[in-house]
Amino acid sequence: MALTDQARAPAPQPGSGFGVFSRVPGAWWATGFILLLMPLVAGNFWLFQVFGWSFCLGIIALSLMFLAGYGGMVSLVQMTVAVLAGYVVAILGNSGVEQISVGLSWWLYVPLAILIATGFATLVGALAVRTEGIYTIMITLAIASAFFYFTRQNYGIFNGYSGFNLVVPPRLFGVDWRQPTAFYYLSLGGAAVCYAAVVYVSRSPFGLALQGVRDNPRRMASLGFNVTAHRIAAYAFAGVVAAIGGILLVWQTSQVAPYSGGIAAVIDILIIAVVGGIRRPIGAFVGAFIFVLLSTFSPDVLSAFGLSNERFKLVIGVGFLVVVFFSPDGALGLWERWRARRRSAVDPLTGKAVAGGGP
């Protein structure tokens, strides 16, 4: 319930701006508390490799969730936008490829990375919004592949096949932000800001209108909305989110190369968003966490069974199938149904199963 209430409870009052804190359910406080104190109990591997990576992927998946869940547009270009932001950071900032990297300071290259990636996302949006459904998927996938091949062949700017390594966060306030605990907090902060922004915007006029466009574009036009402009603006907003995720991701992996935005990586983001539950922002992070756990630990489990640890993609693929088959609303949907069943067992009078996050 705690997870669904966030999406549904404010619905009656589009105007409620204050009293935010009193409306946040207890489970959220608990989650926030646990996440903040995590470094006290978790080791470096967990902080950096599991949580840090989950937050980065979660932010990128969140940008897809925003487009797909609120706008009804399944864009496969979000990872590409993120990777472009990562490239800009490597090219304009510092990397191991000194003949290309410009070495600007972070307060220049971070905003520029967001700006350029968002510009690219907006451009893609302008191309993609005239299509619907499967065609949107196809055109964004085509753009993602084009970007992949372009970066692989372009040596002057993107350094071709090998890309950039040693891309690390700046030293700020005397903190090495790539140190596990510091990066944990950095990526947690980024995730929290993006999450809060998406939740907030979903109830703003722009966010509501986007959901209107998703449900019924023709009616939106006959209410006076410019549907095309709204869709493009959604790509731009999602582009900002994806760019933030991409910058954190390039700092986490310390490298960016064509395969960072390859077809496999692009599809991973879709899988993450769908597995977590594409209708609510938190689903992106749930999905990312599941994905990271599977890809981190299933190789060990698989090799214990004498299988090649390359097969972990198979595990993820089967998991994807199971989720799509049993719960179109992702892991969150499963969780809700379980809660609903438990509640109905407790109270048969009000045992009506709670619906998911809307249709």
Partner 1 sequence: MSAAAGGISAADRLGSVTTGSALELRGVTKLFGALAAISDVTMTVAPGERRAVLGSNGAGKTTLFNCVTGDFLPTSGAIRLFGEDVTRFPAHERIRRGLRRTYQISLLFGGLSVADNVYLACRGVNRNRFSLLRPRPSDPLLTRAEELIEAVHLTQARARLVSELSYGQQRQLEIALALAGAPRLILFDEPAAGLSPTERAELVAILGNLPPHVGFIIIEHDMDVALRVATKVTMLHNGRVFKEGTPAEIEDDPEVQELYLGDGTHGHG
Would you tell me which residues interact with partner 1 (CB under 8 A)? 11-18, 200-201, 203-209, 211-212, 214-216, 218-227, 229-230, 233, 237, 358-359
- Residue nearer to partner 1 on the CB measure, 171 or 352: 352
- Residue nearer to partner 1 on the CB measure, 221 or 324: 221
We find the least distance from the C-beta atom of residue 349 to partner 1, in angstroms, to be: 20
- Residue nearer to partner 1 on the CB measure, 215 or 300: 215
User: Which single residue is written with the structure tokens 């991701």?
Assistant: 249
What gap in Å lies between CA 312 and CA 317, rounded to an integer?
A: 9
- Residue nearer to partner 1 on the CB measure, 138 or 221: 221
What is the secondary structure of 5-67 as a DSSP string? HHHHTTTT-TT--S-HHHHS-HHHHHHHHHHHHHHHHS-HIIIIIIIIHHHHHHHHHHHHHII
Residue 64 contacts by C-beta under 8 Å, 6 or more apart in sequence?
Answer: 74, 75, 78, 238, 242, 269, 270, 273, 278, 284
- Residue nearer to partner 1 on the CB measure, 106 or 235: 235
Please name the amino acid found at residue 150. Answer: F
- Residue nearer to partner 1 on the CB measure, 11 or 41: 11
We find the least distance from the C-beta atom of residue 69 to partner 1, in angstroms, to be: 10
SS3 label, residue 175? strand
We find the least distance from the C-beta atom of residue 277 to partner 1, in angstroms, to be: 15
We find the least distance from the C-beta atom of residue 66 to partner 1, in angstroms, to be: 12
Beta bridge partners of 176: 171
- Residue nearer to partner 1 on the CB measure, 206 or 259: 206
- Residue nearer to partner 1 on the CB measure, 112 or 199: 199
* Maximal CA-CA distance, the chain: 71
We find the least distance from the C-beta atom of residue 193 to partner 1, in angstroms, to be: 14
| DSSP type of residue 358 | -
Task: Give kind and range of the element (H or E) at residue 172.
Answer: strand 171-172
We find the least distance from the C-beta atom of residue 192 to partner 1, in angstroms, to be: 18
Closest alpha carbon to 115 in 266, 299, 239, 249: 239
We find the least distance from the C-beta atom of residue 353 to partner 1, in angstroms, to be: 14
What is the secondary structure of 312-342 as a DSSP string? HHHHHHHHHHHHHHH-TTHHHHHHHHHHHHH
- Residue nearer to partner 1 on the CB measure, 234 or 257: 234
We find the least distance from the C-beta atom of residue 267 to partner 1, in angstroms, to be: 26
We find the least distance from the C-beta atom of residue 19 to partner 1, in angstroms, to be: 10
SS3 label, residue 171? strand
Alpha helices in the chain (DSSP H): 2-8, 20-23, 26-41, 44, 53-65, 71, 78-92, 106-128, 134-153, 180-202, 205-215, 217-221, 227-253, 263-276, 281-304, 312-326, 330-346
